[in-house]
């Protein structure tokens, strides 16, 4: 998958000059940083329309809350599957990409692909969560997501904009430059 290759290439090329422990390390430099936010159109998709269609017309005996509805969609999400190595849990930390990264809980509908100027999905494409915000923290509970959502009424693109509001504990010390 090109998206996995792109992630690997970008993460391996990043350099943080103030990280002492990275000087001779072969480990992922991204996860050596205190905090990293990785966001944008990551281009991962829902693999099939089957899960979406099944949830859109549930049988009478099936009861879905809004939260469980989106959980069910994410079971078939490429990014979730790659991060979890196929074992679904919303708290995945190990996988082929974004190892050690977290994502706030998704409780909004897929944000891609829309007919321009409308809130209607393009009929020949599978609606997907292509735009994402992931974060890595060197210490637990350093970053806390407050809100993770999309701007549903914005329709000037084929994507709905995604935004996140986070609180972050900032350390009050200086790093020495790597010599």
Query: Smallest Cα–Cα separation from 157: which of 129, 123, 94, 115?
Result: 115
pLDDT at position 57 is 52
Q: How far apart are the first and last CA of the chain?
A: 38
pLDDT at position 136 is 92
pLDDT at position 61 is 43
Quick check: 135 pLDDT over 90?
yes
Q: Is 51 in contact with 38 (CB distance < 8 Å)?
A: no
Of 8-12, 13-17, 84-88, 148-152, minimum mean pLDDT range: 84-88
pLDDT 10s digits, 80-92: 888 876 455 555 5
pLDDT at position 11 is 83
Domains and CATH numbers, the chain: 2-13+31-168 (3.60.10.10)
Of 24-28, 45-49, 164-168, minimum mean pLDDT range: 24-28
Return the DSSP state at 144: E
pLDDT at position 14 is 80
More confident residue, 103 or 51: 103
Whole-Å CA distances, 111 to 13, 30, 75, 86, 156: 29, 27, 16, 23, 13
More confident residue, 101 or 3: 101
């Amino acid at each position: 998958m090109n998206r996995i290759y792109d992630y690997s290439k970008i993460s391996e090329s990043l350099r943080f000059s103030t990280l002492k422990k990275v000087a001779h390390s072969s480990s992922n430099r991204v996860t050596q940083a205190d905090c990293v936010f990785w966001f944008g159109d990551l281009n991962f998709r829902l693999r099939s329309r089957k899960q979406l269609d099944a949830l859109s017309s549930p049988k009478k005996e099936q009861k879905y809350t809004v939260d469980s509805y989106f959980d069910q969609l994410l079971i078939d999400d490429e990014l979730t599957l790659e991060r979890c190595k196929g074992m679904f849990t919303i708290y995945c930390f190990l996988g082929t990409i974004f190892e050690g990264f977290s994502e706030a809980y998704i409780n909004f509908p897929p944000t891609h692909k829309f007919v321009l100027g409308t809130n209607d999905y393009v009929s020949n494409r599978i609606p997907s969560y292509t735009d994402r915000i992931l974060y890595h923290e060197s210490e637990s509970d350093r970053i806390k997501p407050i809100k993770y959502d999309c701007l549903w009424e914005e329709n000037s693109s084929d994507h709905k904009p995604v935004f996140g509001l986070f609180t972050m504990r900032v350390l009050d010390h200086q790093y020495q430059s790597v010599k």
